[in-house]
Amino acid sequence: MPTEPVAVIDFETTGLNPAWGDRPTEVAIAVVQGDAIVDRYQSLMNPGRPIPHDVQQLTGITDRMVADAPPVATVMREAARFVGGLPLVAHNAPFDRKFWEMELARLGEQPQPAFACTLLLARRVYPQAPNHRLGTLIDLLRLPRAGRAHRAMADAEMAGHLWMRIRDDVRQRFGVREAGHGFFMRLQKVPKAKVDRFCRDGG
DNA sequence: TGCCAGGCCCTCTTTAGGGCCTT
């Protein structure tokens, strides 16, 4: 049976919280199936507000770059159509989820509730890591760096590789045969001290 | 072009505080 596909998503934004008026400036989605990234979507978008200088420096996305980009609503409609009904994955998922849900709500679309988090999973599967930032985990696990960090497609692809590695390590380490998105949604909520037993019992 | 969060998780905890992680 082929592994179920998931959509790994990453936003670049004008800031940390849509409740402050922050909007996305770029989105990327990498569809992971089996051991490969099989499809991609990426677009800059015009957030309709200035990007703070420190954020421009962090992401490399400038006001000039988004000035001629399509508006957020256009890009988010395309992104939602691209994702379809696939279960979603992100690194520090609460951050991407709140932008995803806020922007889809503006369009009157229903967001998917299932959002797995590679940060929560990595804390459980790699407790020995010096920290659990995406870049640190990529280097620690010797996974491919996909491009400039803090650009959406590079981060989405790196999170995709991390997702595949976590999935494979859990399956091998604990002998879990069919660990799909639903299994990892449950695993990310299990207290760290109980992860071994949860995995050995098959979730 | 600055200021603003919030969920998770650990511990010198649980009537709390602070670090991590995302842009």
What's the pLDDT tens digit per position in A3-37?
789 999 999 999 998 988 999 999 999 999 999 99
pTM score: 0.93
Nearest to A51 by CA among A41, A42, A61: A61
A157 touches strand B (CB under 7 A): no
Q: How confident is the model at residue A112 (pLDDT cuts 50, 70, 90)?
A: confident
Q: Which nucleotides of B are covered by protein (CB under 7 A)?
A: 1-10, 20-23
Q: Taking the domains of chain A in order of start, what are their residue ranges? A: 6-200
Q: Is the pLDDT of residue A1 over 80?
A: no
Q: What is the mean pLDDT of residues A103-110?
A: 90
Counted residue by residue, chain A has a size of 203
**Average pLDDT in chain A:** 91
pLDDT value for A197:
84
What sign does the CA torsion over A5, A86, A17, A95 have? negative
pLDDT band at A194 (very low <50, low <70, confident <90, very high): confident
> CB–CB of A25/A174 below 8 Å?
no
The reported pLDDT for the residue numbered A177 is 79
Per mean pLDDT, which range of A3-7, A84-88, A172-176 is the poorest?
A172-176
**Residue holding tokens 């998931």?**
A6
Residues 6+ away with beta carbon under 8 Å from A11: A24, A26, A27, A95, A96, A99, A100, A152
Kind and range of the H or E run holding A106: helix A93-107
Q: Are strands A115-117 and A88-90 parallel, antiparallel or unpaired?
A: parallel
Strand B close to A120 by CB, under 7 A: yes
Topology of the domain covering A6-200: Nucleotidyltransferase; domain 5 (3.30.420)
